[in-house]
Amino acid sequence: MTQPVYDFSERVVVVTGGSRGVGAGIVAAFVGAGAHVVTCGRHEAKVDGALFMTADVRKPPEAERVVAKAVEHFGRLDVLVNNAGGAPHAMAADQSPRFVEAVVNLNLLAPLWCAQSAHKVMAVQEDGGCIVNIASVSALRPSPGASAYGAAKAGLVNLTATLAVEWGPLVRVNCVSGGLLDTGAGDEFYGGSGGLERVAATVPLGRMGTPEDIAQACLFLASPGASYVSGANLVLHGGGEWPAFLRAHEQTPERAP
């Protein structure tokens, strides 16, 4: 399918966690649309077309440093995509306080620190700017094995709506909640290619999402076409998941007369 054409020439974009997975897809999309892109990660990496810097955005001074780098190099900041996030699988009863704090810091507090730093710049620009937070459907449904992650992402969805109210009209703030995603590193998590196929079959659109799907949503939300969109949570889940009761019904033997 032909993707919409967006023009971000001379626009300046910061994408956190942009060296791999969804973040790399978002960076590539904005670079392809002509933007100046600054991205970051905790470990050194090379990202084609973007200015990369090492930073741990869980620390407020580091978040400020990333935004300052964009302004230093390009003179402004138009878009912030808070993508850095994630968590290893762990059942709630087994999660240590240190584990929970780390997950919440990365998935909720880091986006807030970055957003605060971006807002300082965008709020004094004549044309403002926009912030896109990358959340997850884990924020919207039970997420066994990802309780702290889901709770943090739920907080991020709420934070998005609140910042949209506090920072409008100059700064728009929106959220993208991705569903089941194939980032190219999911074979192990889903049990190999066969597992990926079985998981994809549970999605009404018949496939898992990709980093490019998330990236296209970010391009739209950052574009003039979304100029009246703020405080929204765009859920990209291919139609969701088949309700469990329907699966159970299919497997229930017919009752004897």
Catalytic residue numbers?
149
Render the chain in DSSP notation, one character per residue.
Answer: -PPPP---TT-EEEEET-SSHHHHHHHHHHHHTT-EEEEEESS----TTSEEEE--TTSHHHHHHHHHHHHHHHS---EEEE-------B-GGG--HHHHHHHHIIIIIHHHHHHHHHHHHHTTSTT-EEEEEEEEGGGTS--TTBHHHHHHHHHHHHHHHHHHHHHTTTEEEEEEEE-SB--S--HHHHTHHHHHHHHHTTSTTSS-B-HHHHHHHHHHHHSGGGTT--S-EEEESTT----HHHHHHHTSPPPP-
